[in-house]
Structure formats: structure tokens, C-alpha cells
Structure 1
Amino acid sequence: MAPIPSSQKKPLGNVMVIGGCGFLGHHIVAQLVESYNCKVSVIDIRTVRNRRDGVQYFDGDITSMESLLPIFQKTKPDVVIHTASPQLHGGSKELYRKVNVDGTRCVIEACQETNVKALVYTSSASVIHDNASDLINADERWPIIPAKSQTEYYSQTKAEAELLVLSANRSLTNPSLLTISIRPAGIFGEGDMQCLPPIMAVYANNQTDFQLGDNTNLFDFTYVGNVAHAHCLASLALLTTSTMKIKPLDTEKVDGEAFFITNDQPVYFWDFARAIWKACGSEKGTEHVWEISQDVGLMIGGILEWGMWVVGRAPKLTRRQVKYSCMIRYYDCGKAKRRLGYRPLTGLPEAIEQSVKFILEEQRVEREKKGQ
């Protein structure tokens, strides 16, 4: 995204990005610096990476009011964008609850105590998914999966945190705080550690000769730059709303609302993987591919899970991975388009190309550092 001339930048005042050194957070910081008229500060548990000139950085723990509140009092943010969260995989239940729920509760309290006008929360599209059923063009009318039916504890805690944030909108005790929840679907991009690197590793290990399922399942993958753009638009929409003397119509309101954000380009699951492999240098088509049915994949995944559990190692294929590879999962981002003015800035082919190029360069530099 090219920087916007200063005379054309829209004002956002003082903006605090929580988790601003992380994957999504640092992309949000970059867009704020390049495209908006604002003063940007960042809170992260450690602010040693992904730093930008002209931004204030603070090491802080969002689960501690003693850590959080003094930073808010010093920076006096008008807008807080809360992206901090453990990764989807590898965290404990205790960590997910502490950061996603307890940490978000502290962020809300700090916003209320320091007269923040707008709080933008990064939720997840997974809050409406049971991780088994197909989602076909799902929108915000779909209910959040109740805790007893949610198989991903991460998604359960993101849903709880979202409810806290949206309940804080125009509360009786703090009516001036406006809140919004952004639900990205399948984020990937530069700095990505969860989506692209494992798919790229499949190509690097020459393991592209099979697929799970028949590749007729559409799936949403969303470029991180577009998700960052949506957060900035949400911030601007909340600030605009805060200056209105009357509440907007229900069909127009943004505060107290959740919004799905996608690339608006659902793609067949294995087509996405093959586009990544092509960007890595693959010239293969699909004639060599061995198709493994979902039922067979689930059986193999179950055997590997049990066998690796016995020897204390992680399996290379799990039943969860099989289900995700075969399910339909895409969303309707029409509400964000209508109310936030959202449109993806970067299409899927371009996003894949530049993201893979970035990661390959990072890997090359890392190899050189190790003298390989």
C-alpha cells in the first residue's frame, strides 16, 4: 500500500496498538503511519521486533492493570486497537484464558479509566464455527458457538473476549466508549508464522504429490494487509460515530457490532496451496496428485496421533488437519463493505506472490546467518 500524502490523510488522533510488534499488529502500525494523520504508540510484551521510526514502544503486560494503566495515562489514546493474543496452536488453556479473556477485561477497564473514545478488538471468524460443519457464505447473523459445543478452546476464549468488548459499548457507566469487533478469516502474509510456512515446507520437502479430499471445498484465506486496513477503517468509523449528536440507524451503525473480514475471494483449498507452491518455484500441475478421501485421511490421522502419542512426538498429520483440508469454510464480508467502506486492497494472487517472496528472503537471510 503506497503512502498517502499528508494533506489527504484522515485524522485518528492518538492511536494505541496493543500487540503492535506481532504479525497483524505491525501491519496495522505500518498503515497508520503511512496512511493516517495520527500519533502511534505500541504496547507489547516485548517490543524488540517489527519496530518503526516515529512510533512510541512500551513493554507491558495486558493482564496487569499495574502495567497497563500507567502507559494509557502517559499516551492518552483516543483509539485503542487490541490485537494481542497467543497463537491458535501450541498455547495452553491457562494462557488463552489469561490473555484473551482476562487481558481483554484489563484493556477495557484501562480504556474506561482514561476516556478512550474507540476500542477495536481483533476477534476471529472461528467464533461461529464448531470446526466440523461446513460454513457456506456465513455472515454476522450466525450465532456464536456456545462453550459446551466449541471444540477449540482458543475460539471459545476469543468469543468470550468479543462479548466483553461489545458489552462495553456505550455502557451505562462509560457511555462515551465505543467498541467494535473485527473477525478475520484465515490470515496470511508477510511475517506469518502459522499459515504459509507449513505449506511452503511441504514444497521444500517435496511432499506435494497428494491431497486430502477432492478439492471442491471453498475456503477463505485473507491477506494481512487487508485485515489491517479493516482495523483502520473501523477506528475511523468509531471516531466519526463518537462526534455524532444522534445515534445512527441500526442498518448503519458500527459501534457495538462485529464484522467478518475476508479477501472476498474464497478459493478451493488445494488451489491455494498450489498457488503458494508455484510462487515457491513449482512447475507441476495436478496430474501427479494422489487423492486421499476424507475417511481414509481421518483413519490415517487417528493412527498417527495414537502412535506419536505413545512415543511422545507430534504427528505430521492429525484428524483436525484432515477436517480443515476437506471442509467448506467461507464468509460474507458484505456488512463490512456496506458499513465500514471495506474493500480488499490486495487481491489473492498478488498477496500470495509478495508474501511468499518475503518469507523466502527471510529464510535465505537466516541461512546465511547460520553459515549454511
Structure 2
Amino acid sequence: MAVDDRFTDLNPKTCVVLGGRGFLGRSLVLKLLKLGNWIVRVADSTHSLQLHNSESLLSEALSSSRASYFHLDLTDKHRIVKVLEGSSVVFYMDVDGSNNSNDFFSCYKLIVQGAKNVIGACRECKVKRLIYNSSADVVFDSLHNGDKSMAYPWKVDNMLIDLKAQAEALILNANDIDGVLTCSLRPSNVFGPGDTEFVPQFLKLARYGFAKFIIGTGDNLADFTFYENVTHAHICAEEALNFQTVSVAGKAFFITNLEPMKFWEFLSLLLEGLGYQRNTSFNCRPSIKLPANLVQYLLSVLKWLHEKLGPRCFNYPLLVHFFQLALHTRTFSCAAAQKDIGYSPIVSLEEGVTLTIDSFSHLARDAYISRCCGSVDRSKADMLLGSGKVADILLWRDEKASFTCFLGLFFLFYWFFLSGSTFISSSARLLLLATLLLCGHGFLPSKLFGFPIQKVPVSNFKISNTAVKDLVAITVHLWNKGFQDIKGLAQGDDWSAFFKVAVFLYLLKLVLSKLLTTLIGIGLVFAFMVFFVYEQYESEIDGLLDILITCLKEFMIYLMRILPVSASRLLHYHDNFQSYQVPGLGKDLR
């Protein structure tokens, strides 16, 4: 990373990048250092600065005092003043931690109160320019080619977006007070290498199989912005504030790649680049359309669950935001940014997608399967079935063998359960049929009509002495154990055992008299379908199970909160007792 020689001879200006270790903050810091005419103060919530291998330029700048790092708490105005003293420009990016909490009070302190503290510190330190990195989401309302004059919506479902809109309004209203000039940039759907939200969240949905669903018609347009274009826009805004104050100060500007495209087409490009292709067993590319009304109904159910179970169950605001993006056309006009701050993208959308795909290669389909399954060829269903002949049959890898086994088992099911005969008579007729077939097979010549007849080897009818001895030993053990249990029941020593046996025999009577035929029939069909279906839709089923288990855990926590104290203590005592381990044994008392 070479420094631009055009600026090395100029007198450097001092700036502060608040949130300099975030996704966009890192890029802006490196951009400023490349220009060569800046002394950069990097401020963020992390206590120490840990550099990546790609940040050699920042490492050199720290060594030469062209850059410095400050731990910052936005709720501490005095600390902000110390960081800003002597600087002329403040780039206010997202500070780490401001977007990772579901607690309203904490988010309000970080975003809104933090913005008030930054404004006050800028006025106190005589900072000349304050550029705020906002978001196009603050005016989200099913927009097409929206411009900077749009007002904030009256009601916003996403708490973080609502708070960010309040912070932006505070900063724009503070323009030209005590000499501080302000402006705001509103990038739309920022993506690129190092992204921690948009691309990783969607790839997570793709791995679970949910990204294959298109919500609505799939024709809605959206604007996307490569992250380097956002940092370039900040540089343009700072220069424009310095030279074109009237047309820039106190205003907000939309920043995009100026290449609107279909939302689902953009996501398909990412998925294809990372190996999530159509017509594969790991099909995650958007292809199945869901009605918008159905999705709205599901969102209402999720909202109710979110209110009852709390935010830990799932990120409801994130889901709502994603579904809104997926359903509506939302494009923005960058005419004001092009005219007033001289912005134009420096990286095209196609190039940005390519760079993003390269940077997320560790999350590609093949890498994910190899990491999670150890092998691309073996599935969880295969491992559950032992990866042997049974797995090959139930997973229909040899369709001829699987169909033959299914027909054979269905014949036995019909013979014993659906023919109307008793079990003994069915067994006798089956043995008679088997005897006739074996005898007939024994009388057949070695060749019949020119076709060889393969005889059944005698070894197939033999049982080894070891197998016989093991079978006898198991039978004797079960007999003796049953005798002891019956003796205990006869003497009336154990009433608990009596009730267990009585309930078991009664349930067995009900099953044998009414449900056995149905259960065996269902089990037969189930065995030849469920493992095959699970192998085909493994990621989707695992994703649903994860969500159900998480919701169940949060539901239990919710019950603990609303139950009386005595009942909660009883449940808590029971959980502790169940998980108690005896020293030296290493297992639960269960």
C-alpha cells in the first residue's frame, strides 16, 4: 500500500475517525493514510489495537506517529474531548458495540446520547467539520429513486434504525453552531470484504437452505454500495465542506453504486460465486417464490413470539429488515451527492461483487461442507445409519436393491397383518411356502433352457458354535432376570415395579389390539422416506431444529419468569439435581 506522493509535501491535517476499527472505519483509516496529508487518530471501544496482516500501512503510520489509537466510550464526554483536542475534522462512523445490543437503554446511550456527546465535544474543541456515517434505512418506506429531501418516517419497527435517525437529526441540526459544519452520508446496503452483517447473515440463511425462497414476485429493485465507495464519499464530503459550505453543510446525501438491480439477482450472484448453485443437492440459490401475504403473516407470528419470549430467541428486527428489503423496491438518487460533493463510485458493482466473493471464500459451500461434515460425500443421515448396507438401502443409493427390500418388507407386512389370518397360521403358511421354494430350488438342474442356476450354498444355513453359545447365554440371562422380577412381584416387595409392569402391559395390550398394524405400516414407510428426505434437505431441517430448540429454551426461561417463586425454585432445584455429578463417576445421577 503506497502513499500518494501528491499529498506528502502538504501540511498534514489532523482528523479523528470515531469507530475506526469497524467495517467502514478500517477502510476509511487506510484511505486517509494512503492520501498522505492526514494525521489520523483512530478511536473505538476496544481497549487495545490488534492489527491484521492487511494493515501494514496502519502499522507503519503508528510507528511514525502519523496515526494513533484511543480507547473511547461514547457515554464519557470528557474522554471524547481529550481525543478530539487539536483535530479539525471528525469522521463519525459506527462505534463497535452500538449495533450489537437489544437493550433500548444501552443502545440509546451509545447512539443518541453518544451523538450529543460528540457534538458537544466538537463545539468545545473547535472542530471545523463533522461528517456522520448514517444509513439509507433511516428513511426506509418502500422507496423508488428517493432523494435527500425525504422526511423521516413516523413509525420505525427497527429500534436501531430509529435511534440512528435521531442521531443523524441531532448532528444535522447542530450545523454551524460554534463554527462546526456538519453533514451526513446515507449509504444503502453496504457490502464488501470484512462485512460483518449483510453478507454473513445471508450466507447463514443460505447454509440453512432458507435463501432459496424468493419473497414476493422477485422483481423488486435495490441499491447496493461497495464499502470503498462509502469511504471515498467521506473524503469527498470533507473536501466539499471545506470549499462548498452552502450546498453541503447541514444536509444528508445518499450514497450508492449508481447501479440499481433486482435484490434477488444480486444475492444470486453472491451465492453462485460461493458455490451455492442451482440443481445441486445443496441447492440454496433463490428459486422458490413465496406469497408476500404468507410472509407478512409469519412476521406477525414472529413479532408475537419476540414480545413474549424476548430478544434472545431470535433477532426479530433483523428479520423484519431483511424481509422489507426482499419485498419492496428501494432505490435512491445520488444526484445531490454527485453535484454537491463530487461523488462518483470508484469501484463498480461487478468488481465489488467479485472482490467480496474472493474475501468470503472461507464461507463457500465446499469449504462449509468439508468443515462441518469432514467429507463432501458423507451426510449426517449416512452417518446415523452406520454408512453400511442399511444406509445404502434406506437412502436409495441403489434404487433396484432399495425397491426390492421395500417390496419384500411390504409383502411380509401384508402377510402377517393385512391378510386377516392369525400370526401362527401366517407363520405356518410362510414356512410352508419357504419349504416348497427351497425344495423346488434344490431339484432344479444346474442349467435350465441354457441359463445357469446358482445353487444356495450350504454354508448359508449353518450357525457357528460361538453364535449359538452367545444366543443361549443371552436367553438364559433374560430368563433369570425375568424370573427375579416375577418373584419380586409375587412376594409384593416392590410396588413401584408392580405399577410399572401393570402400566406397560396395559399399554402393550392397547397397542397390540388397535395400533400395532398402523404403527408398523407407518414405520415401514417412514424408514424408507425420512432418511432420504433428511439427506436431501439436511441444512433446512437442521436450521428449523436449531430455531425450535432455541425457542423452547427461551420459552422455559419465560415460564420461570412468570411462575410463582415457589414453583420456580422447585424447577430450579430439579434441574440442579438432574445435572449433579458424583465425584469420580463423571456422569449424571439419572
Deviation at residue 357 of structure 1 after TM alignment:
1.6
* 3-state SS of 1:335 partner: helix
Aligned-residue CA RMSD (Å)? 3.2
1:336–1:100: structure 2 CA closer, same or farther, 3 Å change rule? same
- CA distance in 1: counterparts of 2:163 and 2:147, whole angstroms: 20
Q: Give yes or no for the alignment of 1:77 onto 2:97.
A: no
Deviation at residue 209 of structure 1 after TM alignment:
3.4
- CA distance in 1: counterparts of 2:20 and 2:286, whole angstroms: 43
What are the within-5 Å matches in structure 2 for residues 251-266 of structure 1?
253-266=247-260
1:89–1:125: structure 2 CA closer, same or farther, 3 Å change rule? farther
Q: Percent identity?
A: 27
- CA distance in 2: counterparts of 1:161 and 1:353, whole angstroms: 34
1:216–1:49: structure 2 CA closer, same or farther, 3 Å change rule? farther
1:72–1:368: structure 2 CA closer, same or farther, 3 Å change rule? farther
**Structure with higher RCO (Cα < 8 A, 6+ apart):** 1
Aligned to 1:272: 266
* 3-state SS of 2:6 partner: helix
Q: Which of residues 210, 215, 220 is equivalent to 1:217? A: 220
Q: Give yes or no for the alignment of 1:117 onto 2:128.
A: yes
Q: Which of residues 162, 178, 183 is equivalent to 1:180? A: 183
TM-score normalised by the chain length of structure 2: 0.54
Deviation at residue 205 of structure 1 after TM alignment:
4.0
Asked if 2 retains the 8 angstrom alpha-carbon contact of 1:100 and 1:161, the reply is yes
Number of aligned residue pairs: give it: 351
- CA distance in 2: counterparts of 1:351 and 1:287, whole angstroms: 20
Deviation at residue 299 of structure 1 after TM alignment:
2.6
- CA distance in 1: counterparts of 2:258 and 2:197, whole angstroms: 21
Deviation at residue 263 of structure 1 after TM alignment:
1.2
- CA distance in 2: counterparts of 1:62 and 1:89, whole angstroms: 15
Q: Give yes or no for the alignment of 1:189 onto 2:201.
A: no
Q: Give yes or no for the alignment of 1:167 onto 2:173.
A: yes
Asked if 1 retains the 8 angstrom alpha-carbon contact of 2:190 and 2:226, the reply is yes
- CA distance in 1: counterparts of 2:130 and 2:198, whole angstroms: 27
Q: Render the CA deviation track for 1:181-217: whole Å, top value 9, x for unaligned.
A: 1111111111111100122233434555321111110
1:153–1:313: structure 2 CA closer, same or farther, 3 Å change rule? closer
Asked if 1 retains the 8 angstrom alpha-carbon contact of 2:206 and 2:212, the reply is no
Asked if 2 retains the 8 angstrom alpha-carbon contact of 1:126 and 1:155, the reply is yes
Aligned to 1:333: 334
Q: Render the CA deviation track for 1:62-93: whole Å, top value 9, x for unaligned.
A: 221222122223xx111100113455564322
Q: Render the CA deviation track for 1:256-300: whole Å, top value 9, x for unaligned.
A: 111111111111111111011011023438998221111122234
Asked if 1 retains the 8 angstrom alpha-carbon contact of 2:98 and 2:110, the reply is no
- CA distance in 2: counterparts of 1:22 and 1:366, whole angstroms: 25
Mind listing any 5+ residue stretches in structure 2 that lack a counterpart? 62-66, 375-590
Deviation at residue 321 of structure 1 after TM alignment:
3.7
Aligned to 1:22: 22
* Structure whose residues are more often helix by fraction: 2
- CA distance in 1: counterparts of 2:108 and 2:162, whole angstroms: 9
TM-score normalised by the chain length of structure 1: 0.84
Aligned to 1:157: 163
Asked if 2 retains the 8 angstrom alpha-carbon contact of 1:304 and 1:318, the reply is no
Q: Give yes or no for the alignment of 1:298 onto 2:296.
A: yes
Aligned to 2:461: none
Code of the aligned partner of 1:194:
E
Asked if 2 retains the 8 angstrom alpha-carbon contact of 1:305 and 1:315, the reply is no
1:89–1:213: structure 2 CA closer, same or farther, 3 Å change rule? farther
Deviation at residue 304 of structure 1 after TM alignment:
5.4
- CA distance in 2: counterparts of 1:254 and 1:106, whole angstroms: 23
Q: Which of residues 101, 109, 115 is equivalent to 1:104? A: 115
Aligned to 2:4: 5
1:360–1:69: structure 2 CA closer, same or farther, 3 Å change rule? same
1:291–1:366: structure 2 CA closer, same or farther, 3 Å change rule? closer
* Structure whose residues are more often strand by fraction: 1
1:341–1:211: structure 2 CA closer, same or farther, 3 Å change rule? same
Higher Rg of the two aligned structures: 2
What are the within-5 Å matches in structure 2 for residues 219-258 of structure 1?
219-241=222-244, 248=246, 253-258=247-252
Q: Render the CA deviation track for 1:316-355: whole Å, top value 9, x for unaligned.
A: 9955543331111111111001111101111112111211
Aligned to 1:351: 352
1:8–1:162: structure 2 CA closer, same or farther, 3 Å change rule? same
1:287–1:57: structure 2 CA closer, same or farther, 3 Å change rule? closer
- CA distance in 2: counterparts of 1:259 and 1:158, whole angstroms: 15
Q: Which moved more, 1:276-285 or 1:99-108?
A: 276-285
Q: Which of residues 278, 281, 284 is equivalent to 2:278? A: 284
Aligned to 1:68: 80
Deviation at residue 139 of structure 1 after TM alignment:
0.5
